[in-house]
Structure 1
Amino acid sequence: MRASPIRIPTDSDDSNWDSCFHLSHQTKSPAHEQTYELYPSDGSGESEEDTKAKEEKSVDCMSLPEEKLAHSQRKTAELIKEKMNTQANKELIRCVILSRIIFGEEHWKCAQALTNLAYGYLTLRGLPAQAKKHAESAKNTLLTWKGNMTSNKEKKEILGALIMLYYTLGVAWLLQNHGKEAYFNLQRAERSLKELKEFDKGSVYRLQVSEKDLTIALGRASLATHRLNLALAYFEKTIGDIIIAKGDKTSDLISLYEEIAQIEQLRRNHDQAIQYLRKAHSICVSVFTEVSPKTAEISALLAKAYAMSGEAQHKDAVELYFIKSISAYHETLGPEDYETLTTIEEFSKWLIQNGEKQCLMIQILVYESDHSKIRETKNILSLLQRAKTIHLDEEEKPFKKERILYAKAQRHD
């Protein structure tokens, strides 16, 4: 069962941008006398892009740091909306540097900017190691200021930053397969959220980390630590909230149904797992159509769920959903795609384990008759048949001598 909400790139180092934080502690000149050229200036034409670049350069050279920070925060939001994740992450770095200039390194607003950067490394770049490092750098400052707060507005903002910080740490640990540490930090995020609700009389002001995000993460951390009943409770709560807000046909439910089906399989409740995957499949068909990679994925999971039940009456369903999955993958991703080949292999193994030789016919439907995969399947089937014959011969050996003696006695009579 696959459930991977954030894909982690293989590149785990971002030293170019980390170097921005190795700033010397030498005496600084007044903020209004400092200029920072963080955007390259290039181009010689008068295109719209050049005009925009000049405007940004004007903001850089002539604005006060406070104005630069506000501009950078607006630009970050725009870049995230346009899904320009790397550029948005660079802008978050700029926000940290400007916050240091304006507030100083020990101020909670600088720690808040660092928390935003950590969250950006996690959600925009998928880099948990960097996310953890910057979140840890911000933690002590935020906790110190929380204990010495004066204004209500300040307390709300710091609690919001702590929710984001602990969520970031929790998910980062989870992505690195440390379920215990993940759950611990996510619990702290949950407690901070509860504290914010109590402080704000039940209404939570606009948070970047939603209650739904936090509940899903807690469910995944519970699953990672094998607390199946707790994980089930978190996912069921989230599913209920989503259905109330968006209805029972929203694509938001698909991954949750996948994960809750995985929990039911671990609890050996195969019928329940099948029902959740059927719901996911129904939504996929209505949202993405029958022939789509996502529907193909759910069809394969449904086939394997039927197979895991071990029930003879589910045999036809296993074949049906495997064929649906293979056909959809073949049409959308192509015959040589990894998902297509993997699903064919899984179906072939299931057929062989159940004494079936249809696997060859299925592959002929997908490939040309002289394709290497078909030759490979024929070889596998020949080897299996030979192994089966050898196995039977070994079982018969103890009785061969007795049969020979019996045959001789019969001839003598």
Structure 2
Amino acid sequence: MAEFRVIETRAAFESAVEQLSAGTGPIAVDAERASGFRYSQRAYLIQMYRRDAGTFLFDPPAIGDFAPLEDVIAQEEWVLHAASQDLACLREVGLDPSTIFDTELAARLLGMPRVGLASVVEELLGIKLAKEHSAADWSTRPLPQSWLTYAALDVELLVDVRDLLVERLAEKSKDGIAAQEFESVLHKEAKPAAAEPWRRLSGVHGIRHARNLAVARSLWVARDARAVELDVAPGRLIPDASIVAVARSLPRTKRALADLREFTGRASRSEIDRWWSAVEDGLATTELPAIRVPSDAPPPPRAWASRHPDADARLRLAKQAVADKAEALVMPVENLLTPDHLRRVAWRPPADTSERGIREALAALGARAWQLDATAQIISVAFVEAEQSVEDASASAS
């Protein structure tokens, strides 16, 4: 088995750039982060493969400036699996493709039953990939050879997978659809930072009192600041469940905090003074958070039937129509149309519910042209049927 070396010196990097420049065809790209271990989502290993060039494993922290590589490959097609997961950390080091082929997304559009890289490789190439290091701490140095072998295999087969998917997409007349989806992924804007990121605490939505929320907020802020300082994943200090448990119980002394059985985590006792100070701040603040945050999102659909039967009927009938269309096209319904888009137009339909009006409403939400062609007319018909069904039900009741 070949032994892989990490490219971490300028000389080795420049040599790799030359070899990749001389290669042929698309470039397979992957990145490994240290999610769950480090605070940042930076790449700690970037893998590339190109025919007639070979496989290259780059150490981003050691290399720093990737501009010479970007200059020679930016205009080539990059092949990634689940590109949306890696584009941000690649762009962080200055690697930004102009064209991509997303093998995971292509597999979804083709209706393949399993779309993880190992499953796609096995179905298309008959090769089994081991995934034992997928959740490893890639900030580890030096990286073990077994990890490097795993990382190399993630890109060495990707171009072959891409070629077979291109053929299947053309056979199913889905190549144009795929091109639109790849462009959408490539140019999708990053979500703006949340105004109150502490509200993403798992379990915090079950807290109904402002003082308890203030304690949760204070502990989250203290944990986040310490996590940034140490460059460690926040949950490795104290987990979300511990913060929520403290916020629910509102301990009144440091001793009571330390005695709380649900207050766990590797730093829960070693940094008890830090956490108690945060609890005190939360207990004392006069700037209490709102219990509910205004949102333009529709309420949960389970509540529509009794309070908003018209919206419930629109969603129910349109959802079934879109599901039937997805089945006919042999692809997951969420790839045919983003479920949130359908919920929003069902909850607050445009004044014009003709096919044209539905197209405009969905396009404003970000639906692609092929999605509009496939769904706008059937949603319009479903809305008409929904209106009639509500009228019939009202007439029967009276």
TM bracket, shorter-chain basis: under 0.3
Structure ID, larger Rg = 1
Higher helix share: 1
Using structure 2 for the length normalisation, give the TM-score.
Answer: 0.27
**Greater relative contact order: 1 or 2 (C-alpha under 8 angstroms, separation 6 or more)?**
2
Using structure 1 for the length normalisation, give the TM-score.
Answer: 0.26
